[in-house]
Amino acid sequence: MDYLHDWANLLLRWGHLIVGVAWIGASFYFNWLENHLERQNASLGDGVAGELWAIHGGGFYHLQKYELAPPSLPEPLHWFKWEAYTTFLTGFALLWVVYYLNAGTMLLPPGSTLVPWQGVLLGLGVVFGAWFVYDALCRSPLGRRPAWLAMVGFVLLIALTWGLMQVFSGRAAYLHVGAAIGTCMVANVFRVIIPGQKALVSAMQTGAERDPAHGRHALLRSRHNNYLTLPVLFLMISNHYPMTYASEWGWLVLAGLMVFSVLVRHYFNVRHLAGRKVWVLPAAGLALVTLMAAMVPEPAPSRQAAGNGAPEVAFGEVAAIVEERCAGCHAAEPSFGGFAAAPAGVALDTGEQIRRHLKDIQRVAVTSRYMPLGNVTGMTDVERATLGAFIAAPSPAPGS
Ligand code: HEC
């Protein structure tokens, strides 16, 4: 079972990445197209807003964009929607495999008062509830004031992050914020952008009057999707960076990274326009450097540094702690249920392996404390300090 679970995880993640690349790649490409159309050519045909030449893969491409629509409906007409839908489907399945099937360890923090199914329901509520809140905001009068809407959305997202960090493990909280945003983006495609395009096509077929509201809604939603791409991509890889989510300030770290990445996206949106853009990249850089400075980790706790004259830590002590708190999972044959092999390929069941991984142990169990996962094995602060003291000592002398 654990073995099949690992395969499900691998195949879904792989697939999610592939279709996600296809979706975001197409979206980046169309943004780029829009920004690079030649709009001044005298040779442009009737009703053509712009055109562009490109060379790729050994061939020349010639594209044209129409001001409204071509005189008759072209056949075949290509739509871009399955990239988005399959990204949602694979991501949702992956959420189950990684977080909900192991909710006790992966979703909930140690000592949580929730039982796993309550955590799962809450997670699902957030992922889908976010869309209803967001959609209602876009349709409210706020929808006509994009800057205000963006501010409100940003504050709500950070509040959501903070709230989730109170009930979920840090990594699950981040991932759920990412999943909630991703769901809104896919639903924008499914519920607003594609229906708008369908209405456009059917208006062409029947010769009916076009409803300008469709265009206005679709533009707002695709603009949101454009700016949310980079934050979502970060959230999807955030699991690898406990320094971001593993402190109580994780919600603020996310706020900083969102500001940074939205500014970077903004730069790519406006760099082809004249004027008023020189500040964008420096502002993004400033946001990033400020965040990095604010996040500098405190030095690892060390018993000597505490000045209480504690004796040096012996390797045996370290090995005993790792054996008790980590090796249940991190062994060639884990005894802890749910693992078919040492997680992340890190086995810690012999003295030699522990020595080899001292730096990793410090990073995950002392500096960021994201291991033991969900602290299921109940590692204490004193034990973390002991590990930290041994690793920080001038040279973890052999044989000590
Ligand atoms: C409940 C099982 C479990 C326990 C107990 C556990 N881990 Fe892990 N560990 C995992 C899983 C699952 C992963 C892979 C997922 C990930 O990278 O977050 C992992 C990944 C790691 C990694 C590689 C990821 C990285 O960021 O380098 C290290 C190193 C690690 N654990 C060290 C430890 C140490 C040290 C302890 C004891 C203090 C420990 N683990 C206790 C399950 C566990």
116 close to ligand 1 (CB < 6 Angstrom): no
pLDDT tops 60 at residue 52: yes
Please report the atom of ligand 1 found closest to the CA of residue 365.
Answer: 38
Per-residue pLDDT reduced to its tens digit, 262-321 = 999 999 888 888 777 888 999 999 999 999 999 987 765 555 454 455 567 889 999 999
User: What number is the average pLDDT over the span 335-349?
Assistant: 86
Say what the pLDDT of residue 211 is.
81
Q: Is 104 in the pocket of ligand 1 (CB under 6 A)?
A: no
Q: From the CB of 229, is ligand 1 less than 6 Å away? A: no
Question: For the residues 336-349, what does the mean pLDDT come to?
Answer: 86
Task: Indicate if the pLDDT at residue 398 is higher than 70.
Answer: no
Question: In degrees rounded to 5, what are phi and psi of residue 334?
Answer: -60, 140
Q: Around Cβ 287, how many Cβ atoms within 10 Å?
A: 20
Q: Please report which confidence band the pLDDT of residue 400 belongs to, taking 50, 70 and 90 as the band edges.
A: very low
pLDDT, residue 95, reads 97
Q: 221 — phi, psi (to 5°)?
A: -70, -40
Pick the residue with more confidence: 245 or 209? 245
Whose CA is closest to atom 37 on ligand 1? Answer: 326
Q: Which residue in the block uniquely carries the two structure tokens 């995880």? A: 9
Give the pLDDT confidence score for residue 214 in this predicted structure. Answer: 85
Query: Residue with the nearest Cα to atom 12 of ligand 1?
Result: 343
Q: 2: Cβ below 6 Å to ligand 1?
A: no
Give percent above pLDDT 70 in the chain.
95
Higher pLDDT, 212 or 291: 291
CA-wise closest residue to 199 among 215, 216, 222 = 215
Asked whether the predicted pLDDT for residue 121 surpasses 70, the reply is yes
Contacts of range 127-134, beta carbons closer than 8 Å, 24 or more positions apart: 127/92, 127/95, 127/176, 127/179, 127/180, 127/183, 128/183, 130/160, 130/180, 130/181, 130/183, 130/184, 131/180, 131/183, 131/184, 131/187, 134/184
> pLDDT value at position 301?
54
Give CA–CA dist 361/359, Å, rounded. 5
Tokens of 100: 């909900």
Q: What is the pLDDT of residues 86-96, one digit of tens each?
A: 999 999 999 99
Indicate the pLDDT class of residue 83, thresholds 50, 70 and 90.
Answer: very high
Task: Tell me the CA–centroid distance for residue 214 and ligand 1, in Å.
Answer: 49
> Does ligand 1 have an atom closer than 6 angstroms to the CB of 269?
no
For the chain, what is the radius of gyration of the CA atoms? 26
pTM over 0.85: no
Task: Please tell me the distance between residue 371's alpha carbon and the centre of ligand 1 in angstroms.
Answer: 5
State mean pLDDT over 69-84.
Answer: 91
Distance separating alpha carbons of residues 22 and 84, to the nearest angstrom? 8
Q: What is the mean pLDDT of residues 37-42?
A: 84
The verdict on the CB of residue 280 being under 6 Å from ligand 1 is no
The tens digit of pLDDT for each residue in 365-386 reads: 988 788 898 788 889 989 999 9
Cα-to-centroid distance, 373 and ligand 1 (Å): 6
Mutate which of 6, 348, 373 for ligand 1 pocket (most atoms within 8 A of beta carbon): 373
> pLDDT value at position 17?
98
* Predicted pLDDT of residue 232: 98
